Amino acid sequence: MGATKIRTVESTGVKLAEKCKEITKYDCSEPTWTTHQDRDEIAPPAGTVAIVVDLRNAWGSIRIYQTQNDDYVDMVGMDEKKNLVIVPWQDDWTYLCTGSPQVGCVMKK
C-alpha cells in the first residue's frame, strides 16, 4: 500500500498550510504541533487532512497503521533526518512514535 510522503523546505505555519492545500486540494489550517514520546500511539482528530513530521532537530520516526486491523501502511523514519515531511492523511489511519518526533496536525478548514 504505502503513504504519499512529500519533503518540503517550507517551515512557517502559513507556508505549510499553503503547501498542504496544494497537495490535498482543501483549505488547510496551520499545523498544530506536538512533540510525542516514545511509543505514543496517536489517532489524529477527524478532519485531519495531513500531518507534517519534523525530523530536522529531533530523533525519531512514525509508523502508520490502518486503525481497523493494525495493518502496516508506511513510515517516516530517520532516512528523512533533517527534513520536514508532509503526509496526506486518511481518517482510518493511526501512527506509532519511536523516539520523540515533532508532528504537526493540519486540519481542513
Which is nearest to 76 in space by CA: 67, 89, 68, 24? 89
60-77 pLDDT, tens digit each: 999 999 999 999 999 999
18-49 pLDDT, tens digit each: 999 999 999 999 999 999 999 999 999 999 99
Which is nearest to 52 in space by CA: 87, 90, 101? 87
3-state secondary structure of 28: strand
Computed over every residue of the chain, the mean pLDDT equals 94
Domain boundaries, the chain: 6-107
Which is nearest to 104 in space by CA: 56, 54, 58, 55? 54
Contacts of 91 (CB under 8 A, 6+ apart): 46, 48
Q: How far apart are CA 83 and CA 102, in angstroms?
A: 11
Class of domain 6-107: mainly beta
pLDDT at 1: 63
46-64 pLDDT, tens digit each: 999 999 999 998 889 999 9
pTM (whole model) above 0.85: yes
